[in-house]
Amino acid sequence: MVVGGILVATVVAFISSFAFYSVAPAAPATAKSPPTRPQAWQILVEVLRSAVTATLITGLLIAGAWSGLAAGMLLGLALWALPVVLLTGSVVWENVPVRGAALHAADWLIKLLAIGAIVGAFA
C-alpha cells in the first residue's frame, strides 16, 4: 500500500510542477530565447526526482510512526525549509534572480504538501 502512495505522489508531483510552470514560467520568453520544450531525459529526471522525494517523505513518516494526511502535510511543510535555504543561497551567492528562486520555492511548497498529503494518507 505504501508503494502505491509513492507512485501516486510521484505522478501528482510531476503533474503539479508541469501545471505550475505552465501558468507561471520561471523566465519570460524573449525574442532571443523562446521557450523550449524539455527533452525526454529531462522529463525522466524530473519523474525520478519526484519519486525520490516521495520515497524520502514516506520513509520519514514511517520512521516517525506518523500517518495521515495532516501529518504528511506538516512534514512536507517542515521539509520545505530545505529548498528555501538552498534557493536563498543561490540568490545571495550565485546572483540567481529572486523571481526565479521564488517561483521554484513555490513549486517546491506545492509539491511537498501534495506528496506529504498523499503518502501520509497511504502510510
Whether the pLDDT of residue 74 is over 80: the answer is: yes
pLDDT-based confidence at residue 24 (cuts at 50, 70, 90): confident
Whether the pLDDT of residue 3 is over 70: the answer is: yes
Say if residues 5 and 117 touch (Cβ distance below 8 Å): no
Whether the pLDDT of residue 116 is over 60: the answer is: yes
| Helix axes 40-63 and 2-23, enclosed angle (nearest 10) | 130
Q: What is the pLDDT of residue 53?
A: 98
pTM for the whole thing? Answer: 0.90
Whether the pLDDT of residue 32 is over 80: the answer is: no
Q: What is the pLDDT of residue 66?
A: 96
C-alpha cell at 97: 534572480
